[in-house]
Structure 1
Amino acid sequence: MFHQRLGCSSISFRHQELATALHTMRNAGFEEIDLGALPGVCDHVPYVLDAGAVEAVTAVVLQSGMSVRSVNGDVGDLNATLDAGAREGRDRHLEMLLALASKTGAKALVLPCGAIDHEPKRGLTEDIELVAAELIHASQRAAEFGVELWTESLHYFRLCWNTERAQLLADRLAGSDVGIVMDFSHIVASGGNPVDFVSRFGERIKHVHLRDAVPATDTEPGNINLSIGNGQADFAAGLSALRDFGYTGHFSLELETRDVTHDERPAAAAKAASFITDLI
């Protein structure tokens, strides 16, 4: 029904229980998902994640018949200095997320690009170096589970919130196996350009999130919670740039939108999928 490389993030239906959300996405015509595991954003995966929870979530996903492209998770602020106890907790949480990615057949685990704060905890250079070191460590652990490690390297609300900081992080990840997730909405909200993002990071882009946005103004912050077509993202130009660069990865509608009701959401997701399918 839709392009074979286009899926939908479970975050799009975060208001539903996981089994219901999977059923909704399948009925809308999707066959592939990103599995949201972001505390405070999407509770489809418990934040307190132990072996039993991994097995329970895996069973629900496998029973749905949906394939999983990535697990979109969080193990805490990657630019925070940890004591021994906090380090042990992070490593345990990372291991459980990687086990979940492996058991559900996901290609990768996605981690953020730092704390939900533009201000560094010590200094920008030191913070970005710490984020890079944590991501590289996570990628090495991911390899043990047979999955990849990707980062959403530009996230409007996190440390690496614009193209300049995404570039700084990418420079420190050079030579590693950490891939980049491109998100149209975060790029646009930060005042960036998707075509420029592709030209800078195209070789490292492994996955693409699709949602609309408007950039910040002198009086209003950027808005990333818009349905496709209701913002200023130039999807035609951005997808064309990806195609010209030779991008062969997948795309996911991450419709954490606030301009439709929950009842309207399945039809809105299907409409967005049809629109993007034509552009891919």
Structure 2
Amino acid sequence: MIRIGMSSTCAYPLPLEDSFRLAGQAGYDGVEIMVTRDEATQDAAALVALSERYDLPILSIHAPVLLLTHFVWGRDPRVKLEKSAELAARVGAGTVVVHPPFRWQAGYAEDFLDIVRELAASTGLQIAVENMFPWKIGGRGVKAYSPGWDTTLMDCSSVTLDFSHCALSGHDSLAMATALGERLRHVHLCDGSGSLDEGRVFDEHLLPGQGSEPVAEVLALLAAARWDGAVVAEVNTRAAKTEPERLAMLADTLAFARIHTREL
């Protein structure tokens, strides 16, 4: 069976322990930790303690690559990635998720794919580069990422597929999964309703089945291939007004994943 995990971002803005608690109550197989300014997300001992308390393995570590985490572990993006790999090794996670660099991160951007390959080789971890999306400012395209946002064009051995980002980029996720083949090693389970070209500018992270991406078809493709990566829910639950409502959203996401990753 494909492991179905839950990202700590699903419980935002609740404290980190709530992510473990909600993941356990909903029935997930493990968690992904987004490293943020919350010191608990950076502390291997604290993470291991939570993992043991809730009997949930840590499947993956998401490097602090968001603009909101600019100063986490300093300002050098290479150091951030290396520290993420160190943290993953200490908590028993096999995967580090990282975004392509911003174009203005000049030296790091130029060496990014070499850094990813070298780090994967030296640690034995999967450094899974996540697909992103083109930016538009004032209706004009802006090259925000380097070497780019499309991971199908990158020379890296491990990729994370994010459905919401596919929707924003106008990139069909089933075509992307097929093109990636064995390089697809990690999935962020969510959905999106349309591309930037259609006037949508928000990275929605809808519950699967609520958008326009062929999420069920991609999961079925992976199940048929006896894929051994992890599918990690990364859905936006901030609209939930109560904890039972949030928990129901997480349980629905898990049920969708279980149904469509069932090996026939």
Question: Aligning the two structures, in what range does the TM-score lie when normalised by the shorter sequence?
Answer: 0.7 to 0.9
Matched, 1:276 2:260: no
Partner Cα separation in structure 2 for residue 270 and residue 13 of structure 1: 13
Residue type matched to 1:95 in 2? Answer: E
Partner Cα separation in structure 2 for residue 187 and residue 13 of structure 1: 22
Matched, 1:141 2:131: no
Say what the alpha-carbon RMSD is for the aligned residues. 3.2
* Contact 1:102/1:146, CA 8 A, preserved across alignment: no
Corresponding residue pairs, total: 246
1:206 counterpart residue number: 185
State the secondary structure of the residue aligned to 2:170: coil
Partner Cα separation in structure 2 for residue 225 and residue 121 of structure 1: 26
| Structure 1 residue ranges, 4+ long, deviating more than 6 angstroms after superposition | none
1:241 counterpart residue number: 221
- TM-score, normalising length: structure 2: 0.78
For residue 108 of structure 1, the aligned residue among 95, 99, 103 is 95
Q: What is the CA-CA distance between 1:13 and the residue it aligns to?
A: 0.9
Partner Cα separation in structure 2 for residue 199 and residue 155 of structure 1: 18
2:200 counterpart residue number: 220
State the secondary structure of the residue aligned to 1:208: strand
Matched, 1:63 2:53: yes
2:7 counterpart residue number: 9
State the secondary structure of the residue aligned to 2:200: coil
2:235 counterpart residue number: 255
Partner Cα separation in structure 2 for residue 114 and residue 139 of structure 1: 15
| Deviations 1:15-46 (CA, angstroms, capped at 9, x unpaired) | 2222222112111111311111145xxx4755
Aligned CA distance change for structure 1 residues 212 and 94 (closer, same or farther; 3 Å) = closer
Matched, 1:24 2:3: no
Residue type matched to 1:224 in 2? Answer: E
What are the ranges of 5 or more consecutive residues in structure 2 without an aligned counterpart? 68-73, 136-142
* Contact 2:130/2:162, CA 8 A, preserved across alignment: yes
Q: What is the CA-CA distance between 1:5 and the residue it aligns to?
A: 1.6
Q: What is the CA-CA distance between 1:90 and the residue it aligns to?
A: 4.1
* Contact 1:35/1:71, CA 8 A, preserved across alignment: yes
For residue 94 of structure 1, the aligned residue among 66, 74, 81 is 81
- TM-score, normalising length: structure 1: 0.74
Q: What is the CA-CA distance between 1:183 and the residue it aligns to?
A: 0.9
Partner Cα separation in structure 1 for residue 192 and residue 182 of structure 2: 25
Matched, 1:265 2:252: no
Residue type matched to 2:84 in 1? Answer: L
Percent identity of equivalent pairs: 22
* Contact 1:76/1:90, CA 8 A, preserved across alignment: no
Partner Cα separation in structure 1 for residue 54 and residue 108 of structure 2: 38
Q: What is the CA-CA distance between 1:274 and the residue it aligns to?
A: 0.9
